[in-house]
Structure 1
Amino acid sequence: MEEEPMAEKQPVEEEEAPAEERLELAFQRGFLAGRRVAQLPWEDLEQTLSNTKDSSLLLAVLQKTVLHPLCLKYPPSVKYRRHFLSELIRKHECTTDEPLDELYEALGDVLNAAASTHCYKSYILPSGDAVTIRENVAIISQGTTGLVTWDAGLYLAEWALEHPFVFTNRRILELGSGIGLTGITVCKTCRPRAYTFSDHHQCVLEELSENIRLNGLFVQCEHYSLAGEKCRDREAELAKLQGPSITVAELDWNSVTEEELAKFQADVIIAADVVYDPDLTRSLVAVLQKLPACTNDGNPTEIYIASTSRNPDTYSHFQRVLEQVGIRWEDLPELRKNFLPYDQNAKISILKLLL
């Protein structure tokens, strides 16, 4: 099992920290998560540098980003680090201070580094712990978009951080888990009893399993099309020893049966960024129709679907198909914070479905 990623413990309420420290932490969270370089708080940095006339802030930013232990062990892409350091050097060159050898040494190391088809993104949670995800540099690779993290997955993960009671001590089934950001966040922070990650693409399943292990979690069952009895037999034991019972399941939406879905015994079903193609939408709704309306305890099954509305017609089509098959839905309120780095300008929403 991989060693769990290291992270500096951060206070939950950073508003009380000095302004420079808040700025350093903003760079740290954004950089480690691979947020677009242009979206990092450069204007605030320029303003602070013009007021202080002290380049020590630049060194502090460097230490919390490119030289941070998480970056050294699980680095963002070479291209991303090169772009970031070039911009940091430009900001320093606007000051009257002497050149900082540390900045140029860091850039030299990156320029000499070999590029890879993979990179890492690390998301610092409010607790100070981190979720680190290995993903592909290319948005589309090996015939799938499932090897990168999308905004709705970040949004759903942050919603889970605000509503941990939805998941605590319950069995969760995630549809279209991709490479695992949402589910790993839930497993590390919300204490579910059991969690089933599911997807259909073989490469996605392999990367998903590696990311689960990368974050110090234990995969009890791997690549099962059904939730095996031997997984459920150890749920209580695993909950006491090392967290939830975790299954990675291959799930084909076009062929899965009601009986197979019932065997997962899920109390809560979630999915993120699965509404982007009309053909896929019909397959998704067909799966939703096959889900048990009630849990084994007799409570209604809870279903939450997070979506980025890139094409309003596609999203409206999803809602119409739900209505046609008699699945009711309600929009959940927007999040109060933007701790994880999803695009605040994107139109992201979560529907709670009522079977």
Structure 2
Amino acid sequence: MAEFDPLEYYSFSDKRRDTSITKQSYGPIRLIHQASATKLTECKVVPPEDKTPIIDILDLPTISSKPPYEVLTTIFKLLALDVQTNFGPGVIESEILPVQKILNKKNVQKDQFSFSLSWLQNHHFGVGKSSETFAGLYYWSRVISKNSMISYLTNIVSSDLSYMDNETQRNELMEQAAKLIGENSGRTARAGFVRTIIVPGFEKEEIKIKEPAMTGDNIGMKTWGSSLIMAEKIVNNTKELLKEPILELGSGTGLTGIICRKLGFKNVLSTDLPTIVPNLKANFVLNGLESDLSSCKVLDWSNFSGFRSENPNCMFSTIILSDPIYSDEHPTWICNVLKEFLVRDDPQSRVIIEIPLRSLFEKTRENFWILLEAMGLIETTVEENEGYDDFGEYKFLFKVYKWGKYTRD
């Protein structure tokens, strides 16, 4: 179950946007790099049970002890989150990493680590008991109470580190501490970052996704769990799901569109609102798709006349939607877009949808299915999926719709 999902409480104010069920699981796995891996997970580290040094928040240096820059920056680097990859409960390591591997992983210089360890031992702080204990902060940060961590970091920030003479070092530490507070306060409080996406079936290349800080008016600039599952389905069922030309509605951070292009499709348009498209383009550049920037376009579901006037003859054989429903208006708006842009005279035209089963929007989803059928589309595929988002575990629904009996409006 998801612990918290902002879209369960989202009040939409922007201009955006009985078949048998096959169950598929997209839950956690142990090692994302296994060739047989077919499930989505987040490659964050969870320490092996009963193998990590026992550290308490009181083992860390206090501000009153005036820890030097080298000590605090080393601690902050060891506590920082790794590069975030996909979603999920984490990967459990089979053994503790050697100290030097941890230092390499966290970009901590050996001489800086040695100096910090010596200082901690001289000042009798528990985290300096041994090099293994000190380096063990890498694991400890994953299991310590978030409130305790935030309290410790807040004390540092509130002190302004006034005992330090070097303003540059002081500012760097304040930024590191503030970033750590955000990382430990949940996705909605986290600063912008780059997420690494590993799509099962497409492990040969990592996808980099820039996600700005999440606020109420830019929820489209977050990668939602639906898009990861959609990307995997497209990778593993390309011929069955995709037929050019392709239109993606509500592209957000661009994961699905990027995957389509990485698979070799050229006639693809990725669309979203004016405030979302600049970050969408930035992610294309981040993934070496500079030549495709012209295919990132503005399309407002509530008023697509501008898009139509710029693309007067565009019709699409495939339209992709990931997590498109979080307002009562969306079903009607989306169906209007489908009527306008989905090729009508081809029974193989299709709409592919991946949607989380949020309780708040149950009636809205049902209305969406009704409206799709009313416009002449029929379900050809329905699957229930289980997967993850930044906010926890979810059930998702995947559907493919194609034209039934053709009737022209």
TM-score with structure 2 length normalisation?
Answer: 0.55
Shift of 1:210: 0.4
Alignment partner, residue 211 of structure 2: 135
Q: Which amino acid aligns with 1:300?
A: Q
Deviation at 1:35, TM superposition (A): 3.6
Q: SS of the residue aligned with 1:350? A: strand
Aligned to 2:256: 182
Aligned: 1:198 with 2:239: no
Mapped partners of 2:210, 2:42: distance in 1: 24
- One-letter amino acid of the counterpart of residue 301, structure 1: S
Output one character per residue of 1:94-130: Cα deviation in whole Å (capped at 9) or x when no partner. xx97535545599899875263841111012342411
Q: Which amino acid aligns with 1:132?
A: K
Cα deviations by residue, 1:37-91 (Å, 9 ceiling, x for unpaired): xx224xx44xx45xxxxx3368757766x559xxxxxxxxxxxxxxxxxxxxxxx
Could you say if the C-alpha distance between residues 291 and 117 of structure 1 is closer, same or farther in structure 2, counting changes exceeding 3 Å? same
Counterpart CA distance in 2 for 1:333 and 1:35 is 20
Per-residue CA deviation, residues 135-160 of structure 1 (Å, 9 max, x unaligned), is 123252xx231011111111111111
Kindly tell me: are residues 168 and 331 of structure 1, through their superposed partners in 2, closer, same or farther at Cα, counting changes over 3 Å? Answer: closer
* 2:395 aligned with 1:347: yes
Match in the other structure for 1:82: none
> What TM-score results when the alignment is normalised by the length of structure 1?
0.62
Say whether 1:248 aligns with 2:296: yes
1:163-312 mapped onto 2 (5 Å cutoff): 163-166=237-240, 170-188=244-262, 190-200=263-273, 202-220=274-292, 222=294, 247-256=295-304, 263-294=313-344, 298=346, 300-310=348-358, 311-312=361-362
CA distance in 1, matches of 2:391, 2:191: 24
**1:99 counterpart = 2:132:** yes
- Residues 274, 63 of structure 1: CA spacing in aligned structure 2 closer, same or farther, 3 A cutoff? farther
1:167-189 CA-partner distances (Å, limit 9, x unpaired) = 6773221011011112112222x
Q: How does 1:36-185 map to 2 (within 5 A)?
A: 39-41=89-91, 44-45=92-93, 48-49=94-95, 55-56=96-97, 66=106, 99-102=132-135, 113=176, 115=179, 117-126=191-200, 127-140=203-216, 143-166=217-240, 170-185=244-259
- Alpha-carbon separation, structure 1, partners of 2:391 and 2:380: 23
**Structure 2: unaligned runs, 5 residues or longer:** 1-31, 47-81, 109-126, 142-152, 154-171, 180-189, 404-409
Give the match's secondary structure for 2:339: helix
Q: Tell me the C-alpha RMSD between the 2 structures.
A: 4.1
How far apart are the structure 2 equivalents of 1:62 and 1:191? 39
The 1:198–1:57 alpha-carbon spacing in structure 2 relative to 1, beyond 3 Å, is same
Tell me the distance in 1 between the aligned counterparts of 2:398 and 2:373.
Answer: 16
In structure 1, what is the Cα distance between the partners aligned to 2:398 and 2:42? 31
Alpha-carbon deviation of 1:326? 3.1
Judge which range, 249-258 or 279-288, deviates more. 249-258
Q: Which has the larger radius of gyration?
A: 2
Q: Equivalent residue of 2:271, what SS?
A: strand
Q: Is the 8 A contact 1:154 1:341 kept in 2?
A: no
Residue 3 (structure 1) aligns with? none
Amino acid across the alignment from 2:363? D
- The residue matched to 1:206 in structure 2 has which SS? helix
| Partner in structure 2 of residue 13 of structure 1 | 36
Q: Shift of the alpha carbon at 1:271? A: 1.1
User: CA 1:330–1:97 in 2, change beyond 3 Å: closer, same or farther?
Assistant: farther
Note the C-alpha offset of 1:252: 2.0
Q: Separation in 1 of the partners of 2:382 and 2:261? A: 22
- SS of 1:300's partner is coil
Q: Indicate conservation of the 8 Å contact 1:119/1:134, yes or no.
A: yes
3-state DSSP of counterpart to 1:193: coil
Residues 273 and 118 of structure 1: CA distance in aligned 2, closer, same or farther (over 3 Å): same
What is the number of residues matched between the two proteins?
Answer: 271
Shift of 1:26: 6.9
CA distance in 2, matches of 1:12, 1:331: 27
> Higher relative CO (CA 8 A, sep ≥ 6), structure 1 or 2?
2
AA partner of residue 272 (structure 2): D
